[in-house]
């Protein structure tokens, strides 16, 4: 709406303002003429005056400005009505959208419920068919007791159970396809056999024996029933069977020409599932596979198996091992001299120093305070500082030595536990530490893998501790733990180390002429 100046007939510049009238603030619409500088307003009290000066501004009454004010009021009401209608429309759309989502969720819930019912019905039908088949098999073998039984799986046990280990059904004494009698479960088609003891073992074929009195070779761990072969048969044959996860590394294993298996290795405990072929990275076999791959060796031996390895998928565990192995392969352990008492600093030129130590468990370098002796070219560290860093960051990549206050290396001092190299790396069997068997044995494996100690050194030290404390009453629990760890470390990498074959030399017959 355009309003013209009554004097110059030019459009007025209209805006809303506030004026002071009789002690009160009044909001008005005013139109200012650019030529005469007079402000025209539709304020009714101004009609009684030809012109009024308010705050150095000349105001005159103009009826058209009152019509303009009415026009602005109607425009405001129209805009307010439009906004209310838009808000109602949006509210209705949101309500209908939520209503549709609820209907869709209810439909999905009903569909899932129906699917669950269908699966349960199918499972029940399968169980009924299996039960029906089981009863038919029982009747058949009662009528034909010498009929051959073809199992789907064979289980070797030390003692024969009365019922099946899987479904609890009673076992039936039947003949297999080779004519040998054994206990069978007709429900799951499993054949149970007893493991042969050493006295029951079948003598191996020796061919033409040149020495008639040579003792026959017996073996209870035949390839068919060795734990390595049983473990090998449990691994999946197809990588599709392994779960798809970023932390799982998949490795292809080949035995012979056509026997192929796959193994998944992870460092996330919630993803370990040995029944599906996912193993913890510190597992005996999985750890050996990782070490073999990292040293770029495509072949390894596991018991009687000779395997070829091929990396199929590099997960986070293999990447972390590769990064860690690269640090350990290209650096040497830092020689660090640990002291418990006050060090005689006045004998050497000693200054404060910062030692950068790599912690493989934390996978990072840590800066620690130490003392540097210039004359000896050694780095000394207080035992408290060292033990705190081990507690906080795990196994350190250092070569620690215990020293007396004069700097002399103390191999077996008054404190045997502190002087132990294993103890310096965090190994402890005391009741206060309360370390589990898994934690202690995992630490020993890490010492070997990081080349901080050899298997022979660890075994020798554990044997010494057992021998030294065997007859001390207060060390019974400690000796039991040392013996358990010694048995574990003896079996570790048993087939990956140097192997020799021993044989019995028969006694010579006495000659009566001698």
> Which pLDDT tens digit goes with each residue over 226-274?
677 777 888 887 765 566 677 788 888 888 766 888 888 887 778 888 8
DSSP 355: E
- Give per-residue burial for 363-395: e unless 16+ CB within 10 Å, then b: eeeeebebbbbeeeebbbbbeeebeebbeebbb
Statement: residue 412 has pLDDT above 50? no
For residue 266, what pLDDT is reported? 84
For residue 93, what pLDDT is reported? 94
CA pseudo-torsion sign 89, 90, 96, 97 = positive
Give the least confident one: 76-90, 306-320, 377-391, 438-452.
Answer: 306-320
CA–CA distance, 64 with 2 (Å, rounded to integer): 10
Give the least confident one: 236-245, 278-287, 414-423.
Answer: 414-423
Confidence of residue 213 (pLDDT cuts 50, 70, 90): very low
* Environment class of 268 (CB within 10 Å of its CB; exposed 0-12, middle 13-18, buried 19+): middle
For residue 156, what pLDDT is reported? 83
What 3-state class would DSSP assign to 487?
helix
For residue 119, what pLDDT is reported? 93
For residue 428, what pLDDT is reported? 86
User: Strand locations in 231-298, DSSP E?
Assistant: 249-255, 259-266, 278-280
Q: Could you report the per-residue pLDDT of 7-54, keeping only the tens digit for each?
A: 888 888 888 888 888 888 888 888 888 888 888 888 888 878 888 888
Confidence of residue 118 (pLDDT cuts 50, 70, 90): very high
For residue 269, what pLDDT is reported? 77
End-to-end CA distance of the chain: 145
Give the least confident one: 54-58, 86-90, 404-408, 482-486.
Answer: 404-408
Statement: residue 451 has pLDDT above 70? yes
For residue 344, what pLDDT is reported? 64
Which residues are CB-contacts of 489 (< 8 A; sequence separation ≥ 6)? 441, 444, 455, 458, 459, 462
Query: How many helices and strands, by DSSP H and E, does the chain display?
Result: 10, 20
For residue 80, what pLDDT is reported? 92
Kindly give the residue spans of alpha helices, DSSP state H, lying in 20-62: none
pTM of the model: 0.39
Confidence of residue 502 (pLDDT cuts 50, 70, 90): low
For residue 289, what pLDDT is reported? 82
For residue 510, what pLDDT is reported? 52
Name the nearest CA neighbour of 154 among 136, 177, 170, 133: 177
Neighbours of 132 (CB within 10 A): 10
Percent with pLDDT over 90 in the chain: 10
Which structure tokens are listed for 438?
């898994």
For residue 217, what pLDDT is reported? 40
DSSP 235: S
What 3-state class would DSSP assign to 499?
coil
Confidence of residue 84 (pLDDT cuts 50, 70, 90): very high
- Residue with the bigger pLDDT between 514 and 393: it is 393
Rounded to an integer, the average pLDDT of 377-392 is 84
Give the least confident one: 312-321, 450-459, 502-511.
Answer: 502-511
CA–CA distance, 509 with 506 (Å, rounded to integer): 9
Statement: residue 223 has pLDDT above 50? no
Which structure tokens are listed for 352?
């404060």
Confidence of residue 410 (pLDDT cuts 50, 70, 90): low
- Residue with the bigger pLDDT between 490 and 224: it is 490
The answer to whether residues 202 and 192 touch, using CB atoms and an 8 Å cutoff, is no
* Environment class of 99 (CB within 10 Å of its CB; exposed 0-12, middle 13-18, buried 19+): exposed
- Give per-residue burial for 443-470: e unless 16+ CB within 10 Å, then b: bbbbbbbbebbebeebbebbeebbeeee
Rounded to an integer, the average pLDDT of 500-508 is 59
For residue 242, what pLDDT is reported? 65
Statement: residue 368 has pLDDT above 70? yes
Rounded to an integer, the average pLDDT of 151-158 is 82
pLDDT mean across residues, the chain: 77
Statement: residue 59 has pLDDT above 60? yes
Residue with tokens 């004494």: 173
The helix (run of H) or strand (run of E) holding residue 370 is strand 364-373
Most confident of 217-226, 238-247, 397-406, 439-448: 439-448
């Amino acid at each position: 709406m355009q309003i013209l100046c009554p004097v110059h007939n030019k459009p007025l510049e209209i805006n809303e303002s506030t004026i002071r009238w009789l002690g009160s603030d009044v909001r008005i619409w005013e139109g200012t003429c650019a030529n005469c500088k007079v402000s025209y307003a539709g304020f009714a009290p101004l009609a009684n005056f030809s012109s009024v000066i308010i705050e150095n501004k000349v105001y005159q009454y103009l009826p058209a400005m009152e019509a303009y004010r009415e026009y602005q009021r109607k425009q405001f009401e129209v805009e307010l009505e439009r906004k209310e209608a838009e808000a109602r429309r949006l509210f209705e759309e949101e309500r209908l959208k939520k209503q549709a989502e609820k209907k869709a969720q209810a439909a999905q819930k009903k569909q899932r419920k129906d699917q669950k019912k269908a699966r349960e019905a199918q499972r029940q039908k399968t169980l009924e068919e299996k039960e029906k088949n089981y009863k038919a098999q029982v009747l058949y073998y009662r009528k034909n007791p010498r009929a051959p039984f073809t199992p789907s799986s064979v289980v070797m046990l030390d003692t024969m159970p009365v019922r099946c280990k899987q479904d609890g059904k009673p076992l039936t004494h039947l003949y297999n396809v080779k004519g040998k009698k054994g206990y069978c479960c007709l429900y799951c088609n499993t054949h149970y056999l007893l493991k042969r003891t050493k006295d029951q073992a079948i003598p191996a074929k020796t061919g033409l024996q040149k020495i008639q009195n040579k003792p026959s070779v017996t073996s209870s761990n035949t390839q068919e029933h060795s734990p390595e072969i049983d473990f090998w048969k449990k691994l999946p044959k197809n990588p599709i069977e392994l779960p798809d996860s970023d932390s799982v590394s998949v490795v292809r294993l080949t035995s012979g020409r056509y026997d192929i298996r796959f193994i998944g290795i992870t460092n996330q405990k919630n993803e370990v599932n040995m029944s599906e072929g996912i193993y913890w990275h510190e597992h005996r076999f999985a750890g050996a596979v990782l070490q073999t791959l990292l040293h770029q060796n495509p072949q390894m031996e596991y018991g009687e198996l000779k395997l070829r390895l091929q990396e199929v998928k590099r997960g986070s565990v293999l990447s972390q091992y590769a990064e860690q192995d690269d640090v350990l392969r290209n650096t040497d352990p830092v020689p660090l001299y640990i002291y418990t008492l006050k060090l005689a600093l006045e004998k050497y030129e000693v200054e404060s120093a910062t030692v950068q130590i790599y912690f493989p468990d934390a996978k990072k370098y840590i800066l620690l305070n130490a003392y540097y002796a210039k004359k000896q070219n050694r780095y000394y560290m207080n035992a408290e500082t060292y033990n705190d860093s081990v507690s906080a960051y795990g196994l350190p990549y250092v070569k620690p030595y215990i020293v007396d206050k004069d700097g002399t290396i103390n191999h077996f001092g008054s404190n045997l536990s502190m002087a132990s190299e294993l103890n310096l790396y965090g190994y402890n069997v005391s009741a206060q530490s309360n370390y589990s068997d898994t934690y202690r044995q995992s630490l020993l494996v890490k010492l070997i893998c990081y080349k901080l100690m050899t298997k022979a050194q660890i075994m020798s030290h554990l044997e010494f501790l057992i021998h030294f404390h065997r007859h001390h009453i207060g060390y019974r629990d400690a000796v039991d733990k040392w013996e358990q760890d010694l048995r574990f470390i003896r079996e570790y990498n048993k087939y990956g180390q140097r192997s020799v074959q021993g044989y019995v030399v028969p006694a010579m017959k006495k000659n009566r002429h001698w």
